[in-house]
Structure 1
């Protein structure tokens, strides 16, 4: 389970890097605004038929998230060039045998990131995950049932725990 969470976090980080390379305002046509946090969340929730009120609330939360993410990038000195380097490093190492934290560390090293920059990527990912979690919380039970299980908590403890106990073979 922990590996799934780490893989999801890595995938989201890679998406962030790709999205942050070029501001949405500079993109034209179909590309404009396509990779903003709001657009990414909306795409992940496309099968649940969001109401206008839900879309509006997600947009509002996404604006806050974008401001926070911009601040994180600026504070850590994450330039589009560094973000592109990290994306390229992730692509180069995606088929490696490394997984989870070991893979993230190798990607950061290959991209030439210092500790503060690597920590900034973790913070960016946390902001994105919070936006997705808060967006899912807006959904009705019927809408949540249409989502992939990775987007919805799995039980009272959010999927954490040891699972079912095996019965004694007595």
Structure 2
């Protein structure tokens, strides 16, 4: 299949002697390179090719190398984009993980503060219970001593009541005897 460029190149008539020399060898032509192209670097890249007069096979090889480089460049570009996307995804994951850990740390801090507050409240309640227990123990001791003194007083009062009842019986006995004596005297 012929392209337009090939057909135009075939229809061009050589004007100089150099072009006529190149026309005798259809597989090669002479090429004048501009000064900004580094010929030494090209020779290193393509050691088997004459840079100033490349053959048709050399140009096809250069095209193949160029296409391979473009394909490699495209593949590298895709890999680079994939690596960037992966790195960005990892950054997002790391940011998310960091935010999760920070929020978890805040939750732990809040939980710790609540536990410390509860602990302080429990300590205060314990101190109040200890004070209440001491007050109740003092009341129990007071009631116990009051009970023992009341018990002693009760015993004393019982003895007095018993003594009084005995005296009363004795008096009743004396009064009855006196009445009997008086009724007998009369």
Shorter-normalised TM-score: what interval? Answer: under 0.3
Q: Which has the higher helix share?
A: 2
Larger-Rg structure: 2
TM-score by length of 2: 0.20
TM-score by length of 1: 0.22
Does 1 or 2 have the higher relative contact order (CA < 8 Å, sep 6+)? 1
